[in-house]
Chains A and B, each alone.
Chain A
Amino acid sequence: MQDKIISAQNVEFHYTNEFEEDAPVKQVLKGVSLDIKKGEFTAVLGHNGSGKSTIAKHMNAVLLPCGGKVYVEGIDTADEERIFDIRQRVGMVFQNPDNQIVATIVEEDVAFALENLGVPPDEMRKRVDDALKSVGMYEYREHSPHQLSGGQKQRVAIAGIIAMRPDCIVLDEPTAMLDPKGRSEVLKTIRQLNRDFGVTIVLITHYMDEAAQADRIVVMDNGVILMDDVPREVFANVELMKKIGLDVPQVTELMYLLEESGLPTDTHIIDEEECTEALLKILKATPHN
């Protein structure tokens, strides 16, 4: 039981329109079941409007399911009494770093959650410093957020969550607004947290190269989970991915095109080294003329 951090069981959800009571309800989640294991790095893919953000918000009780159940370490998210226990265990990082930083000084922002939880000042100091160090932003602790780059701001936002010492972090397209440098900084930070600190990661993204680095990919389409497997297997379904409006990593696509043109290749390839090897094999196998 305890190796499952999040367990969504047959979750159904629709947004209610406050202004038109009898507007037709559009089912956004149509029975989603998903278990997130401790220490796992899961990527969630799906085109816009497929319900990724909606399921993410179920993972720390920001939204409650209309049907089905969500458990966080065995706690039912519908249990209002334990809402802060849940939010401490599962932290959430959003797309726009500007809109999630509350304070005017980096270290005070990182302390925000701890202040809310009433952590004593000495303990807080230590946890803030640790959190800033773990995302590599310790030297910037006295800066004002608007002096930082996008990637740095997003790392501060992550530190603000890390300071709560959560078991799991859900990141909803954290790199979507960043330049390539910021993106790689943030992704590196996420992977470090996962590998070195054992933080469970749920990363929603629309960058295939980011998803390829995960242990597992969940593909959502139109409120249901379409695929749930290791990256290699998911990306091998090139046609299905394209049909639902998603890409595959460039190397997989190359292999796919070669295969289509009749060459003996394997679409279970997601990184460049493997790709080079496969290409070499093809070249050697093809008689020169």
Chain B
Amino acid sequence: MLKDITIGQYFPGNSVVHRLDPRFKIIITGVLIAMLFSADSFIGLGVGVIFLLISFLLSQIPFKLMLKSLKPIVPIILFTSVLNIFFLEGVTIFKLGFLKITVEGLRTSAFMIIRIIALIMGSSLLTYTTSPITLTDAIERLLSPLKKIKLPVHELAMMMTIALRFIPTLIEETDKIMSAQKARGADMESGSLLQRAKALTPILIPLFVSAFRRAEELALAMECRCYQGGDGRTRLRQLHSSGADYFALGLSIVFFDLVLLLNCLMG
């Protein structure tokens, strides 16, 4: 059952969006987020949403999958819209006891909902179209100038890579330990929350012991393969930026400028 957990939410494919240089994709996602946050009118927001929809259609990600990524934020959406609808002062259109709905409230909450949904869709689009390892790679390369200010960029990326590599292994191991403890009569599915938390001890302890042993052996294996940190390392996979990447980035900047322009015109 634990095996069903997937890391990240990569949806393999070969669309234009999949093929973009991951570094550019990260930057473009950043531009999209900036667009959505700086828009202060529905029309401005609409421009951002259009950019998002174009990318979404090009990515060939099934709509259903996109909806799935929105599921976890439903409570947040409900919460912010309730706050906005009922507690914003303005022209009242409906009143029940101390609750009143105002035009401003409706407008603001619609605005917020669109913004939140677009933000989540935008970042999901990045993770749907880029494998976790490529993403890690791209982050390392984008952040590499920060090595100058002594930020351990390579080490962080290496940690992420190793974590990605070992998550399936450790999940499998947890499954095994759980079965072993169940076979010995451990009860993990009933009892109060506290009892269940206690029942986890015989799982966590062997898991930690094994994780430390793995770490030690991995360090040894890395040492034997001449690992010496990030200095002087080359990479098998080279990231190549092409015309398409620059075009996409340019397009996102044009849209961003449009949003800013609309802000000036409307404000």
What is the interface of chain A, defined by CB distance below 8 A to chain B?
60, 62, 84, 87-88, 91-92, 94, 96, 98-105, 107-108, 111-121, 124-125, 128, 144-146, 157, 160-161, 164
Q: A108-B237, A115-B234, A118-B234 are in contact. Are A96 and B217 (CB under 8 A)?
A: yes
Q: Summarize B's interface: helix, strand, loop or mixed.
A: helix
A-B pairs, top 9 by smallest CB distance, nearest first, are A100-B221, A111-B236, A113-B225, A99-B217, A146-B168, A92-B224, A116-B226, A118-B232, A99-B214
Interface residues of B in 102-132 (CB under 8 A from A): 132
A87-B224, A164-B225 given; name 8 further pairs at CB < 8 Å.
A87-B225, A87-B226, A102-B218, A104-B161, A108-B237, A115-B233, A116-B226, A146-B168
Contact with A along B214-251 (1 / 0, CB 8 A): 10011011111111100011111110000000000000
- CB of B234 within 8 A of CB of A120, answer yes
Closest partner residue, chain B, to A105 (CB atom):
B133
Closest Cβ of chain B: how far from A3's Cβ, in Å? 24
Number of A-B contacts (CB under 8 A): 94
Which chain B positions have C-beta within 8 A of A119? 234
Which chain B positions have C-beta within 8 A of A91? 224-225
What is the interface of chain B, defined by CB distance below 8 A to chain A?
132-133, 161-162, 164-165, 168-169, 172, 213-214, 217-218, 220-228, 232-238
Which chain B positions have C-beta within 8 A of A111? 235-236
Give A91 to B232 CA distance when docked, in angstroms.
21
Pick from A102, A145, A157, A161: contact of B162, CB under 8 Å: A102
Give A96 to B169 CA distance when docked, in angstroms.
12
A-B contact pairs, 9 of them (CB 8 A): A84-B226, A92-B221, A96-B217, A103-B165, A104-B164, A116-B227, A117-B226, A144-B168, A146-B168
Pick from B132, B213, B224: contact of A62, CB under 8 Å: B224
Which chain A positions have C-beta within 8 A of B213? 99
Which chain B positions have C-beta within 8 A of A145? 165
- CB of A84 within 8 A of CB of B228, answer yes
- CB of A116 within 8 A of CB of B233, answer yes
Give A164 to B221 CA distance when docked, in angstroms.
14
Give A113 to B223 CA distance when docked, in angstroms.
9
Closest Cβ of chain A: how far from B11's Cβ, in Å? 16
Closest Cβ of chain A: how far from B233's Cβ, in Å? 5
Which chain B positions have C-beta within 8 A of A88? 226
- CB of A116 within 8 A of CB of B133, answer no
Closest Cβ of chain B: how far from A56's Cβ, in Å? 11
- CB of A121 within 8 A of CB of B234, answer yes
Q: A99-B214, A103-B165 are in contact. Are A121 and B238 (CB under 8 A)?
A: yes
Closest partner residue, chain A, to B233 (CB atom):
A115
Q: A98-B169, A104-B133 are in contact. Are A121 and B217 (CB under 8 A)?
A: no
Which chain B positions have C-beta within 8 A of A128? 236
Closest Cβ of chain A: how far from B155's Cβ, in Å? 14
- CB of A114 within 8 A of CB of B236, answer yes
Which chain A positions have C-beta within 8 A of B227? 112, 116
